[in-house]
Amino acid sequence: MRAAFAQIGLTDPATDITDQVNERAVAWARERAAELVGMRRLEDGTLVPNPNAEWTIAENTREMLRGTVVDAIEQGTSTADLAAQLTESYAFGDARAEAIARTELARADVAGNMEAYRGSGMVSGKQWVLGSEHGEPDECDDAAALGVVALDDDFGGIGDPPAHPNCVCDVLPVLAEEAE
Ligand SMILES: [Zn+2]
């Protein structure tokens, strides 16, 4: 989040703004963390349970997982440590634990950045940037093709990146003056 402020030229944001942004990012995670786990996205952007039984998880597992992810965000746990914790507590395989840890922390990071951009009052828009390791064309390409959109835009219904497990896309802020 500090990086997000620095990115838009705010090297020393007021403490109350930082606190507020932090609080909102954690509130976001409490509600939204783990919502992609065991799900897949249809072409129209809606999330549905993954039909492959290997990936499904019970709703109560998702609830617990959400708590674990929120704790990790609050404590600044690294991806590797969170993945190890997930393998141990949820019996996920290593690859899946790693994917969940990476994706969930990336989602929280982007959500925090968005709060920082909003809190700054200097950012009017954003732009989807495809990750360099982006493989098969998917919903991310459609989002990137939209160009600069409003800060609260949902990129055609998929929300901010990462859009799917292991999505390596990012979102860049567009300063108010650049958009004019
Ligand atoms: Zn992507």
**Residue 47 main-chain phi, psi, to 5 deg:** -95, 130
pLDDT in tens, 52-84: 877 788 888 899 999 999 999 889 899 999 999
The residues, any chain, with a CB within 8 Å of residue 161's CB and separated by 6 or more, are: 106, 110, 128, 140, 143, 167, 169, 170, 171
Question: In the prediction, which pLDDT does 178 show?
Answer: 62
Tokens of 143: 């989002």
Cα of 145 from ligand 1 centre, angstroms: 12
pLDDT in tens, 30-48: 988 888 888 888 877 788 8
Mean of pLDDT over the chain: 87
Looking at the DSSP bridge assignments, the partners of residue 41 are 47
Cα of 143 from ligand 1 centre, angstroms: 9
Tokens of 25: 């990012």
Cα of 137 from ligand 1 centre, angstroms: 9
As a whole number, mean pLDDT of residues 4-16 equals: 81
pLDDT class of 99 with cuts at 50, 70, 90: very high
The amino acid sitting at 121 is: G
Look at the pTM and tell me if it is higher than 0.95.
Answer: no
Tokens of 27: 């509130």
In the chain, % of residues over pLDDT 90: 41
Cα of 162 from ligand 1 centre, angstroms: 6
Regarding predicted confidence, which is higher, 44 or 159?
A: 159
Question: In the prediction, which pLDDT does 179 show?
Answer: 52
Cα of 160 from ligand 1 centre, angstroms: 10
Tokens of 144: 């990137």
Cα of 12 from ligand 1 centre, angstroms: 31
Rounded Cα gap, residues 61 and 2, in angstroms: 32
34, exposed or middle or buried, with CB in 10 Å at 0-12, 13-18, 19+? buried
Cα of 128 from ligand 1 centre, angstroms: 9
Cα of 110 from ligand 1 centre, angstroms: 13
Question: In the prediction, which pLDDT does 152 show?
Answer: 92
The SS3 of residue 98 is helix
Beta strands in 28-154 (DSSP E): 39-41, 47-49, 123-129, 148-150
Cα of 134 from ligand 1 centre, angstroms: 6
Question: In the prediction, which pLDDT does 102 show?
Answer: 92
Cα of 149 from ligand 1 centre, angstroms: 17
**Residue 125 main-chain phi, psi, to 5 deg:** -150, -175
Rounded Cα gap, residues 128 and 67, in angstroms: 28
Cα of 154 from ligand 1 centre, angstroms: 14
